[in-house]
Amino acid sequence: MPKDVIRQFVTPQGVTEAVAKDFLARTQAYIKETGTCVVAISGGRAVNGFLELLRSPAYLDRIDWENIYFLWTDERFVPQSSEDNNFHRAKERLFSHISGCCHFYPVQTEAGTLEEVATLYDKELTTVLSACEKEAADILILGLGDDGHIASLFAKSPVLEEQELSVRAVPGGKVWDRVTMTFPFLAKTKDVWFAVVGETKMAALARVLRQRETYQDDTWQDRIGHVLPGAVLSQDEVRWYVDEAAGGKLKL
């Protein structure tokens, strides 16, 4: 039966510190076991805070960057020079500060139309996983939207029904057109972590956790259409790192 492990911290800083510590330990474990670690990250306040922390002396020289492969769960269909681009923010906070070898594969938003870019990234995922001799990402680090969306998977979107492709275009996806990983890809990831901070996330988080408990015996495929996207994934264990503002009075 799937299990949600919820850890609550007083501040957003407590959340990012906990995610960073676990990231260091888990990437080391995967690299020791398989030689590489494939990490898929989203955007958002908490994830960006985690990335910024990784560039601090406590982590920058301790992480085996050369054997970690970074992918993006989703991207806004804007140039990489745009402040609204998830990779642009991640690069500013972390990747431009790594002096040695580091593997990162952002969505190439200027490589064609929205559909063409999605197709290219779908192929990119296959190439990266093949090079690492893996069938899925090892670690998935997500935020949670105040409407319960994850990555760029929104409630009632037709993209939720995708059963084959790993990446899809999301036209008209809440302000921006977007490109996103789909549930068939996300569902294969081994470690799934949610970082959720801020009072604006409280209602969505509470609803998602209730739905996850109600539908805990259902597969991820069967949950689609009945729950918010944040409640769909059904790995054996899902970790939640939340601050008091987002968690409220969760019963842990």
Q: Is the pLDDT of residue 114 over 90?
A: yes
Q: What is the DSSP letter of 166?
A: S
Q: Is the pLDDT of residue 250 over 80?
A: no
What pLDDT is attached to residue 1? 64
Long-range contacts of 222-229, Cβ-Cβ distance < 8 Å, separation of 24 or more: 224/160, 224/161, 224/183, 225/160, 228/147, 228/148, 228/149, 228/155, 228/204, 229/148, 229/149, 229/150, 229/151, 229/153, 229/154, 229/155, 229/160
What pLDDT is attached to residue 93? 95
CA distance 199 to 248: 8
What pLDDT is attached to residue 99? 86
Q: Is the pLDDT of residue 251 over 80?
A: no
**Predicted confidence band at 87 (pLDDT cuts at 50, 70, 90)?**
very high
What pLDDT is attached to residue 207? 96
What pLDDT is attached to residue 72? 98
E strand or H helix that includes residue 127:
helix 114-131
> Tokens representing 163?
């059963």
* 180-209 mean pLDDT: 96
> Model confidence over 49-85: pLDDT tens digits?
999 999 999 999 999 999 999 999 999 999 999 999 9
* 220-230 mean pLDDT: 96
Entry pTM? 0.95
Q: Please give the distance of CA 191 from its chain centroid, rounded to a whole number.
A: 10
Structural domains of the chain, with CATH: 3-246 (3.40.50.1360)
* 25-42 mean pLDDT: 98
> Model confidence over 140-179: pLDDT tens digits?
999 999 999 999 999 999 999 999 999 999 998 788 999 9
